Amino acid sequence: MAEGHQVRALTRRPQPARDGVIWIDGALDNPASLDALADGADVVIHVAGVINAPDAAGFEAGNVIGTGAMLAAAERAGVKRFVHVSSLAAREPGLSHYGGSKAQSEALVAAAPLSTVIARPPAIYGPGDRETLELFKMAARGFVLLPPKGRLSLIHVDDLARLLLALAASTDGGVIEPDDGRLGGWTHREFGEALGRAVGRKVRTLSAPRLLIALAARADRLVRGKNAKLTSDRAAYFCHPDWVVSPDRSPPTMLWRPSIPTEAGLADTARWYREKGWL
């Protein structure tokens, strides 16, 4: 890698060869593959997790049991540092199964006999991301349907990657909440309008009532079953009015600062989507 790191990465499916990366076939429920992943490593950056599942058990399997398995493998291998990627959703564990599972994973990491740090990124966007793609598609059509009025923070995936590498090399602990540097975050309407500028359209935004989003989640479950993207769990998460990072949990400025202005990052993401034929 550019900074001289040697990287082993876990994968559940075949991956193309990539300079500086050794792919380890396996999964979080395969202890032998986790041992192979952690063997000889100085640092584990635990990014893997479940963001969508049909029930609480699905989130627990990936985010709680999976994190515990990775911690155990790191301990067996004598890893010196464990960087855990959580979510702002962990601040509201009773709001959704996802948030509850992330809070439980944080508790496991905090109790581990390792040097650990927890990163809680806000909404992540950037090239390759399919979670925000639908929002870009709506903006390209000139209309963005948003959750009820509220605020959120954002971070570009490249800025987050730089932070995780910085945390891997540091001794800082506790919980870190990074963002794009915009104090107070973005209102949902401001974000929708920024998406419009990113795709070159003047857009209309509409904050949907909580009931409408709940009904849409039920409809998605009826149509797509276990493959539903808008689950009831996600609907509860989306409708929360405050997903802005806490300033008192910002990364130390000597360690990391965001380098990608969100307006420019959104525009670059839209261009990438178009180049790949996604938008």
pTM of the full structure: 0.92
Q: Is residue 66 part of a domain?
A: yes
Residue-wise pLDDT tens digits, 124-134: 999 999 889 98
Q: Does position 79 have pLDDT exceeding 90, yes or no?
A: yes
| Residue 2 sits in the same domain as residue 60 | yes
Over the range 96-122, which residues count as b (16 or more CB within 10 Å of their CB) and which as e? bbbbbbbbbbbebbeebeeebbbbbbb
Q: Which of 98, 125, 237, 273 is catalytic?
A: 98
pLDDT at position 235 is: 72
Q: Does position 1 have pLDDT exceeding 60, yes or no?
A: no
Question: Tokens standing for 201?
Answer: 């359209």
Question: Tokens standing for 268?
Answer: 């670059």
Q: Is residue 91 part of a domain?
A: yes
Q: Is 98 a catalytic site residue?
A: yes
Question: Tokens standing for 251?
Answer: 């990364």
Average pLDDT of the residues in 62-87: 96
CA 246 – CA 254 distance, rounded (Å): 18
Residue-wise pLDDT tens digits, 198-256: 999 999 988 877 777 767 666 656 666 666 666 676 777 788 999 999 999 999 999 99
Q: What percent of the chain clears pLDDT 90, i.e. is strictly above it?
A: 73
Question: Tokens standing for 234?
Answer: 């996600």
Give the CA radius of gyration of the chain.
Answer: 19
| Residue 81 sits in the same domain as residue 133 | no
Give yes or no for a contact between 45 and 168, defined as CB atoms under 8 angstroms apart. Answer: yes
CA 128 – CA 160 distance, rounded (Å): 14
| Residue 146 sits in the same domain as residue 270 | yes
At residue 27 the predicted structure's pLDDT band, cuts being 50, 70 and 90, is very high
pLDDT at position 261 is: 96
Residue-wise pLDDT tens digits, 147-189: 888 999 999 999 999 999 999 999 889 999 999 999 999 999 9
Domain with residue 238: its CATH number is 3.90.25
Q: Is residue 4 part of a domain?
A: yes
The residue ranking higher by pLDDT, 52 or 268, is: 268
| Residue 107 sits in the same domain as residue 201 | no
DSSP-assigned states of every residue in the chain:
-TTS--EEEEESS----BTTEEEEE--TT-HHHHHHHHTT-SEEEE----S--SSHHHHIIIIIIHHHHHHHHHHHHT-SEEEEE--GGGG-TTT-HHHHHHHHHHHHHHHSSSEEEEE---EEE-TT-STTHHHHHHHHTTEEEE-SS-EE-EEEHHHHHHHHHHHHHS---SEE---SS-TT-EEHHHHHHHHHHHHT---EEEE--HHHHHHHHHHHHHHHGGG-SS-HHHHHHHT-SEEPPPGGGPPPTTT----S-HHHHHHHHHHHHHHTT--
| Residue 36 sits in the same domain as residue 96 | yes
Q: Does position 2 have pLDDT exceeding 70, yes or no?
A: no
pLDDT at position 54 is: 80
| Residue 135 sits in the same domain as residue 266 | yes
CA 187 – CA 172 distance, rounded (Å): 31
pLDDT at position 236 is: 76
| Residue 266 sits in the same domain as residue 146 | yes
* Helix axes of 188-199 and 133-140: crossing angle, nearest 10 degrees: 70
Whose tokens are 């605020």? That residue is 151
Q: What is the mean pLDDT of the chain?
A: 91
| Residue 10 sits in the same domain as residue 141 | no
| Residue 116 sits in the same domain as residue 1 | yes
Q: Is residue 90 part of a domain?
A: yes
Domain with residue 17: its CATH number is 3.40.50.720
- Provide the residue range defining the domain that includes 19: 1-120
